[in-house]
Amino acid sequence: MTSTETRTVPTTASGEGGRLGDSPLRPDGTLKVTGEFAYSSDLWHDDMVWGVTLRSPHPHARIRSIDVTDALRVPGVSAVLTAADVPGENAIGLEHLDTPALADGVVRYQGEPVALVAADHPETARRAAKRVVVDYEVLPAVTDPRRALDADAPLVHASREDNLVRAMKIRRGDPAPTAPVVVALDFEVGMQDQAFLGPESGLAVPDGEGGVDLYVATQWLHVDQTQVCRVLGLPPERVRLTLAGVGGAFGGREDLSMHVHACLLALHTGKPVKMSYARDESFFGHVHRHPAWLRYEFGASEEGELVYAKADILFDGGAYASSTGAVVGNGGTLGLGPYRIPSVHVDARGVYTNNPPCGAMRGFGCVQAAFAHEALMDELADRVGVDRVEIRARNGMREGDLNITGQVIDSAAPVAELIRTVRDLPLPPEPVGERDIRELPGGASNTTHGEGVVRGIGYAVTYKNVGFSEGFDDYSTARVRLEAVAGEPVATVHTAAAEVGQGLITIEQQICRTELGVDQVVVHPKDTSVGSGGSTSASRQTYVTGGAVKAACEAVRTSVLRRAAEALQRTGLRLDGDKIVAESGEVVAGLADVLDEPVEETVEWRHRPTFPIDPETGQGNAHVQYAFSAHRAVVDVDTELGLVKVVALDTAQDVGRALNPDAVVGQIQGGSAQGMGLALMEEIVVTDGHVKNPSFTDYLIPTILDMPPMQVKVLEYADPHAPYGVRGVGEPPTISSGPAVAAAVRAATGKALRRVPIRPEHITF
């Protein structure tokens, strides 16, 4: 028996109780508090070796030669691989196959993988990697995205005509609008990191027949499988993926990291290969949130009603496209916020540079835009003398409105209610007397006892698309099996949809219990032996995989009732709990009684289609669903030192229907924290293409001392088009929290603060 059998399948779990609308405990909760849950970095195998990655020190360089001779001589080393060892097509990428699995002749960002080493100890492998001799010819780099489209800018990809990844135009209404009140601003958003705690890691086990099994932490097993197969030159049946325990994701696991590398080493050595990034490597091992430069102008009536809006948004995509195209799509179609605007002129662009590649992170293109449109909305409110809450309520979308792409908002759009709801939540008490320094800016550093501290309040609203957009075939697959075990009906739900901590497996159980009337629901390990579940991103899994599980349960129920009807020679049967009842209400059998043979159904489920937008006007039904949230932040600012303490961060969000209310609140609180982090502290500092702070010492995320209490008000306006009325939950709080915090700091300091994260020197100088 190999040890992988005990360490690779963490999510098989059954649980009792908990229908839709309840908040049952997570089925993996006990495993996670006892240390038994097998994360991707916990896997091991008897005879495994360790893989490490050698990465480029340069943002842009030609590789003249690579000499692996010395590295191979290190005792304990079993393989050193470069691009020359890639058996298939050396190209990966979510939207464009523009990314080599291993650099082939050129490196385009600092940290790009160049070579792989396998050895019997990770330190041996690291030391051997340092003996790989790479002869680089450093090339001119384009590191300022604002210059990336200049005629004389170096090309990041020599095969392309320019450094443009995608440009999107939205044109609507009056092409030359005027308005009595005009406000404008420029805004800049720094590069944020997902900073999931579980490092990129996994175990690749060769099957001895030229194929491989990969256990890995990811957000979408099937898109990984497709990419790994292309590089290995193998068909999907020979590259099997199983989801290992995922230590957070937040978008950072949409792209491949060590997946292909571990498989290459495993197939080359014939041994199981474990890879696990240290934190500094993790900062180079996944894409980040795009830094953005935004120029906005609002025209409005004297009463503050929007007449027109213009926006020019530039995203730095870094060296490879990743999901930059879709981020541009979101920035463009959603970048003016949840407002009614008659005339619109938006240009959104994403460009290649020699900076770190940027791609998906929670909020996906809307986060950056929200800082700009919410700052400008405050500016407009002040200019026309309307309250900052009321100006949002006045201009906020309502159900039935058209958004800026001409799409009808065909379910609830309670912008006014959300912003007024957060306004009406209790405020934290005004500071009086001696205060606990831990509640003041600077905290235990004891930098103030209240002198120089000013309080400010800020508001923000947002909306975000749910699910994949612009015509993407966005589906999920669910297999549900119902059988009798020891006389009790037991359901098994099998999807490939990634559980990354959000609680999808709990929801899958709740749906099965509700639809099939069973108590026991086993969650099958997530793997590629069932059809794709689509990505765990875009706040989509409860909606789309939830929809698939619901549909599969309905198919199982139909089959069971058909079988019961034949066996019992009765018609008009239905399932009531775990009983089969006749039309009269008479119980004719227990569910387990008709399960001599298991019933299993597999269903592929799709939400309503979306459509590409018109390339000239940007008009079209690009998105399937919109989710709305509002935040109110209260901050204390030490105006002498520029230190900020967030005192309260309260929110209201419409979730359609809360299938698991506790999990919904957990998502909202966690998402709010990430938005606050971007407003105040989180930035990957990149200078001339070099990352300056790849560590948790220098890249700060909010601690429990930084976070304030958070009141969460959940509204439930069911979406009639979605399964159970659900609306995606995960992303909106990350979008509206940061702008509310920034607004509160502006209110406290009177400073314009047109860049985030806001640093002390922005406040004091």
CB 556 within 8 A of CB 516: yes
185 or 278, CB closer to another protein? 278
Residue pair 633/756 in contact by the 8 Å Cβ criterion: no
For residue 295 the two structure tokens come to 């120029």
Helices (H), 488-569: 504-516, 541-568
Q: Which is nearer to another protein, 245 or 725 (CB)?
A: 245
Q: What three-state secondary structure class fits 542? A: helix
Q: What sign does the CA torsion over 334, 336, 339, 344 have?
A: negative
Measured from the CB of residue 521, what is the shortest distance to another protein in angstroms?
18
| 276 touches another protein (CB under 8 A) | yes
Segment lying near another protein (by CB under 8 A), choices 351-359, 500-508, 552-560, 741-749: 500-508
Tell which one of 670, 689, 732, 757 touches another protein (CB under 8 A): 670
Q: Residue 39 CB, nearest distance to another protein (Å)?
A: 6
With CB under 8 A as the contact rule, the residue among 444, 587, 685, 752 that binds another protein is 444
Q: 3-class SS at 679?
A: helix
- At 560 the three-state DSSP class reads helix
Q: What is the 3-state secondary structure (H, E, C) of 686-709?
A: EECCEECCCCCCCCCCCCCCCCCC
Residues of this chain, 7-46, that bind another protein according to CB under 8 A: 7, 23, 25-26, 28-30, 32-39, 41-42, 44
Q: How far is the CB of 439 from another protein (least distance, A)?
A: 7
Size of the site for another protein (CB under 8 A): 64
Q: Estimate the share of the chain in helix, then strand, then coil, as percent rounded to the nearest 5.
A: 25, 30, 45
701 near another protein, judged by CB under 8 A: yes
Q: Which one of 64-72, 90-98, 194-202, 293-301 is the stretch in contact with another protein (CB under 8 A)?
A: 194-202
By CB under 8 A, tell whether 697 contacts another protein.
Answer: yes
Torsion of CA 674, 678, 679, 684, to 10 degrees: 160
Q: Does 243 bind another protein (CB under 8 A)?
A: no
User: Judged by CB under 8 A, does residue 705 bind another protein?
Assistant: yes
430 binds another protein (CB under 8 A): no
The CA distance from 225 to 236, in Å, is: 7
Say if residues 599 and 563 touch (Cβ distance below 8 Å): yes
User: CA-CA distance, 216 to 200, in Å (whole number)?
Assistant: 8
Choose the binding region for another protein from 160-168, 306-314, 463-471, 669-677 (rule: CB under 8 A): 669-677
In this structure, are residues 53 and 113 in contact, taking their beta carbons and an 8 Å threshold? yes
Instruction: Compute the least distance from the CB of residue 661 to another protein, in Å.
Output: 10
The structure tokens listed for 45 are: 């195998």
Q: How far is the CB of 447 from another protein (least distance, A)?
A: 16
User: What 3-state class would DSSP assign to 192?
Assistant: coil
> 649 - beta bridge partners?
633
Q: Work out whether 199 is an interface residue with another protein (CB under 8 A).
A: yes
Contact status: 714 vs another protein (CB under 8 A) = no
- With contacts defined by CB under 8 A, name the span among 106-114, 331-339, 501-509, 561-569 that binds another protein: 501-509
Q: CA–CA separation, 308 vs 723, rounded Å? A: 36
**556: burial class by Cβ within 10 Å (0-12, 13-18, 19+)?**
buried
Q: At closest approach, how far in Å is the CB of 198 from another protein? A: 4
Over the window 39 to 78, marking each residue x when it contacts another protein by CB under 8 A and - when it does not, the resulting string is x-xx-x----------------------------------
Run of H or E residues at 680: helix 661-680
Compute the distance between CA of residue 117 and CA of residue 50 in angstroms, rounded to an integer.
Answer: 8
Least distance between another protein and beta carbon 196 (Å): 6
Nearer to another protein, 128 or 183 (CB): 128
Q: Are 212 and 262 in contact (CB under 8 A)?
A: no
25-58 burial, b if ≥16 CB within 10 A, otherwise e? ebbbeebeeeeebbbbbbbbbeebbbbbbbbbeb
Q: Smaller CB distance to another protein: residue 331 or 546?
A: 546
**Nearer to another protein by C-beta: 334 or 681?**
681
Q: Which of 671, 725, 728, 739 binds another protein (CB under 8 A)?
A: 671
- Cα–Cα distance between 554 and 551 in angstroms, integer? 5
Taking the complex as a whole, the smallest distance from the CB of residue 444 to another protein amounts, in Å, to 6
Least Cα distance to 260 among 214, 217, 218, 221 occurs for 214
Min separation Cβ 671 and another protein, Å = 8
Query: What does the alpha-carbon distance between residue 90 and residue 85 come to, in Å, rounded to a whole number?
Result: 10
Q: Which of 136, 196, 371, 628 binds another protein (CB under 8 A)?
A: 196
Shortest spacing between CB 216 and another protein, in angstroms: 15
The total number of residues shown for the chain amounts to 765
Nearer to another protein, 278 or 582 (CB): 278
Determine the Cα–Cα distance for residues 91 and 97; give it in Å rounded to an integer.
5
Q: Which has the closest alpha carbon to 630: 739, 717, 730, 719? A: 739
Under the criterion CB under 8 A, does residue 207 sit at the interface with another protein? no
**Terminal alpha carbon distance of the chain:** 65
Select from 72, 185, 278, 641 the one that contacts another protein (CB under 8 A). 278
Q: Which stretch binds another protein (CB under 8 A): 193-201, 288-296, 619-627, 747-755?
A: 193-201
Q: Judged by CB under 8 A, which of 171, 238, 279, 579 binds another protein? A: 279
CB of 42 to another protein, least distance (A): 4
494 touches 530 (CB < 8 A): yes
Quickly list H helices, 385-445.
Answer: 388-395, 415-424
Minimum gap (Å) between residue 172 Cβ and another protein: 37
Query: In the bound complex, what is the minimum distance in angstroms from residue 747's beta carbon to another protein?
Result: 23
Please report how close the Cβ of residue 673 comes to another protein at its closest, in angstroms: 4
Binding mask of the shown chain, residues 119 to 148, with x at each position contacting another protein by CB under 8 A: --x-x-------------------------
Options 187, 250, 296, 628; binder of another protein; rule CB under 8 A: 250
CB of 426 to another protein, least distance (A): 16
On whether the CB atoms of residues 348 and 165 are closer than 8 A, the answer is: no
Whose Cβ is closer to another protein: residue 500's or residue 726's? 500
Q: Which residues bind another protein (CB under 8 A)?
A: 7, 23, 25-26, 28-30, 32-39, 41-42, 44, 121, 123, 194-199, 245-250, 276, 278-279, 436, 438-439, 444, 500-503, 662-663, 665-666, 669-674, 695-697, 701-705, 707, 709-710
